[in-house]
Amino acid sequence: MARRHNHYEAAFEDYVRSRGWPYVPVDEHRKAIFAGARVKSFDFLVYPPGQPAWLVDIKGRKFPYDGKNGRRFWENWVTREDLEGLSRWEGVFGSGFQPTLVFVYWLLGLSAHEPSSEVHVFRNQCYAFVCVSASQYAAKARDRSPKWNTVTVPTKAFRGMVSAMGEPCRVDMEA
């Protein structure tokens, strides 16, 4: 396993390795250029059994998250650049590859709102993983912060569209 400084990515890589899934980590320091424009890299190419390969962008979040307005669950914001980059990569790799957002939740306490029934322990910390196709997420996304160019999906809709790791990521045909 590569020495990763981002604990969310390191936890995900440990999880994938523990399942025996083939994967390729992407060197984030090398930016790809298409038609003269830089394209945001994804984090991993993962081959889950019996599914199309995933072009994975990891989104690490605390669960729960203590914000200025109190405790929040299911933080799921991403940047528009994340979604645009995954869409561009899908065009490069083709139909056998699914752009996928994997939300890695660092579990900070027991909660009735747990993101997954499966908890993965890594470096004495607990993590849960959920995934969603980037196109499905984009179809339901709403502006979060124009200043930061971020979007989010309302919690109820997000919970209904994510899958636990190990299950096929749902693809909403209406997306």
What is the token pair recorded at 80? 């528009």
Helix (H), strand (E) at residue 71:
strand 70-72
What is the token pair recorded at 154? 């309302």
What is the token pair recorded at 103? 């939300």
SS3 47: coil
The pLDDT of residue 68 is 84
**CB neighbours (10 Å) of residue 71?**
12
The pLDDT of residue 25 is 95
Please give the model's pTM, rounded to 2 decimal places.
0.88
Q: Block means of pLDDT (10 residues each) for the chain, length 175 residues?
A: 78 96 85 66 94 96 87 92 95 93 90 72 93 96 95 95 73 41
What is the token pair recorded at 26? 């992407």
Q: Where are the alpha helices (DSSP H) in the chain?
A: 7-19, 80-93, 134-140, 155-161
Q: Which residues pair with 99 in a beta bridge?
A: 55
Q: What is the largest CA-CA distance in the chain?
A: 48
Task: Output Rg (C-alpha) for the chain, integer angstroms.
Answer: 16
How far apart (Å, rounded) are the C-alpha atoms in residues 39 and 58?
16
Class of domain 7-164: alpha beta
Separation in Å, CA 62 to CA 65, 73, 105: 5, 8, 6
The pLDDT of residue 110 is 65
Amino acid at 161: M
**Cα within 13 Å of Cα(141), Cβ side:** 25
What is the token pair recorded at 50? 């019996």
